[in-house]
Amino acid sequence: MVNVEYINRAAWLRNRIAEYDYWYYVKDAPLVPDAEYDKLFRELQALEEQYPELIIDDSPTRRVGGKPLDIFPQVAHIVSMLSIRTETDISEQGAIAFDARVRKELGLTDTDPPVEYACELKFDGLAINLQYRQGVLVLAATRGDGVVGEVVTQNIRTIRQIPLRLTGCDAQVLEVRGEVYMARPDFERYNQRQREQGLPTLVNPRNGAAGSIRQLDPALAAKRPLSFFAYGVGEVAGWDKPATHAAMLDALAAMNVPVCDERAVVQGAQGLVGFHRRIEEMRDRLPFDIDGVVYKVNRIALQEQLGFVSREPRWAVAHKFAAEEAVTTLLDIDVQVGRTGALTPVARLAPVFVGGVTVTNATLHNEDEIRRKDVRIGDKVVVRRAGDVIPEIARVVLQDRPDDVREFVMPTLCPVCGSHVARELDAAVWRCTGGLFCPAQRKQALLHFSGRRAMDIDGLGDKLVEQLVDAHLVSTPADLYRLDLDSIGRLERMGEKSAFNLLDAIEKSRHTTLARFIFALGIRNVGEATAKDLASHFGSLEKLQAADAEHLQQVRDVGPVVAQSLVDFFAEAHNRAVIEQLRSLGVHWDEHETQPDKPLPLAGKTFVLTGTLASLSRQQAKEALESLGAKVAGSVSKKTDYVVAGIDSGSKLERATELNIAVLNESEFLLLIEG
């Protein structure tokens, strides 16, 4: 027999987690930090593992999915899930024609008042029926053929927007009908992760939603970022159905069922026209795909009076927008170079009208994506444009492939600057290695070079870099040291005082440290800490430039990827030329600052800084420790050797005390680094 205390605690945890899920996934307004949520979730899991009798169907822990299925069972819908008629006239006449048909069926004359309609969005996803009994989700099924659908309960449970228990409703039966969809930002993030891992991507959000729900393994479905909106009900028993469709949606929303806010109750044909126009104008700003709007006669009694024809309700219609997919010809594939040096294949297309605009270019993302989709120059391709997302080639129309198609070959030299291109281990993207020289990377390289933790050229921000580059005054970082008062004084909004200050900051930056200079070069995968380790290990730029990948990997925290990035960067003649120019223009550092292979007194020690130090900033303290070989971490762990505690130290100091880690006050810390 389970102790009543545990029963009550489990019930409290279930209710609290359900409340947090609703505010996080439906209202997009988290009530507590993730760590607090995770703590409650783990506590409930532990209770259920210890006392399996506590497990119930609507427990949040049931969302993680069950055992893989061999096949989806089928279930008959008590109330058929019928499709609604589609109005293909995308002009306002489509709405006017629907209102005219409704008025005719109802026997209304021109003198009768306008019909009241409930207007909604037509979501581009997968229709689902959710069956709740006594308020608990017990069954979820696809539309199927409208009469029989597939049972997908395990997969639906993984969608955290869908409540496992309705709030304030314990009806004998209440079937909620709606659409499972994938939001565009979630779709893009998912595909980006897949590309980075060299895995297949989803064709579009709709296919992503449908394919996820029909995964036989619920664990795979749980990895897909799915959402849900309700738009109606099916079988109902023991629940007073509201008199209007709009009131029914309001009632579902009150039960914590997700219902889209973009809906309205309007009067007559002009109300329908206004809703269609308003939604079409905002379509690009919606975070999910729609392909039209839906009009429904609002009063349920009038719906029943209108009835059905050919398995379609007379009282509803879907009014489409312009299609977001179209077929065209792939004329060629160009390669664009981004500001970080990434090479992106871009499809040049025969002009095609899609998603409300004429499209001539589409992204192909990377070489692997081209191979996966088997895209070839000359193919007939399906182009997709959803909202303000960059148009992309969704798939090839293989049955229409011409005999003279050509395969795409990624260039071995940067199409912008002629530098060599390289691809990191286990990465999908090719990159230009001429970071200091390449015009495509110019502005980004200059901003990084002049940053506070690099060459520290105060006042050289985004707008000024834009002006210097656009005025053709600066092409590479070396050109900064050729600027004079006359040239920068001609820039817009650049007064004499500002010009003097900039030149003074540039002059001061000529004397730096080897570590800062290495970091300033903007070598991919070489951060501030790695730059310091490289400077400490090699002691001179010449030795670093001459090192091979094997030697580079002897440096702390330098693995194959970082080593290859360094080798590729210094192997590029354009980069070496810019470095030589910088040194000839007076950029220098004191060689004695970094003696190679000299043992440092704090090498191998890990420090954590907490609170405020009176005599130096957090960054100065960090740099002082790293110059002595120490590693500065952001959190306290068993691997921490010392915690430096200033004024107003918080949880890190408490954690250090718990782990019995040595704590230094400011005086002790200063004695340590000065000694």
| Long-range Cβ contacts of 646-654 (<8 Å, 24+ apart) | 646/609, 646/610, 646/611, 646/612, 646/613, 646/614, 647/611, 647/612, 647/613, 647/614, 648/611, 648/612, 649/610, 649/611, 650/610, 650/611, 652/608, 652/610, 653/610, 653/611
Other CB atoms within 10 Å distance of the CB of residue 662: 11
Tokens 């069954």 locate to 139
Tokens 């008062």 locate to 485
Per DSSP bridges, beta strands 312-313 and 308-309 are antiparallel
Residue 245 DSSP SS3: helix
Contacts for 400 with CB less than 8 Å, ≥ 6 apart: 380
Distances (CA, A) of 369 to 9, 115, 186, 429, 521: 50, 51, 19, 10, 31
Among the listed residues 163, 155, 170, 226, the one whose alpha carbon sits nearest the alpha carbon of residue 21 = 163
One-letter amino acid of 325 = E
Tokens 């198609």 locate to 405
Sheet strands (E) in 72-152: 74-76, 85-87, 116-123, 126-133, 136-142, 148-150
Quote the DSSP letter at residue 491.
S
User: Bridge partners of 149?
Assistant: 75
Distances (CA, A) of 97 to 88, 311, 319, 602: 11, 20, 11, 81
Q: Where are the alpha helices (DSSP H) in 91-183?
A: 93-106, 153-157
Residue 502, token pair as written in the block: 């900039």
Q: In angstroms, rounded to a whole number, what is the distance separating the alpha carbons of residues 436 and 569?
A: 9
Per DSSP bridges, beta strands 325-337 and 392-396 are unpaired
Instruction: State the catalytic residue, choosing from 67, 104, 122, 639.
Output: 122
543 is catalytic: no
3-state secondary structure 416-434: CCCCEEEECCCCCCEEECC
**573-584 and 560-571 are packed helices; what angle lies between their axes, rounded to 10 degrees?**
70
- Residue length of the chain: 675
Assign residue 557 a region: left if phi > 0, alpha if psi is -120 to 50, beta otherwise?
left
Contact (Cβ atoms closer than 8 angstroms) between residue 153 and residue 62: no
Contact (Cβ atoms closer than 8 angstroms) between residue 104 and residue 305: no
Residue 359 DSSP SS3: strand
Q: In angstroms, rounded to a whole number, what is the distance separating the alpha carbons of residues 22 and 60?
A: 12
Q: Where are the alpha helices (DSSP H) in 524-598?
A: 528-538, 541-546, 549-552, 560-571, 573-584
Distance of CA 514 to the CA centre of its chain: 37
Supply the residues annotated as catalytic.
Answer: 122
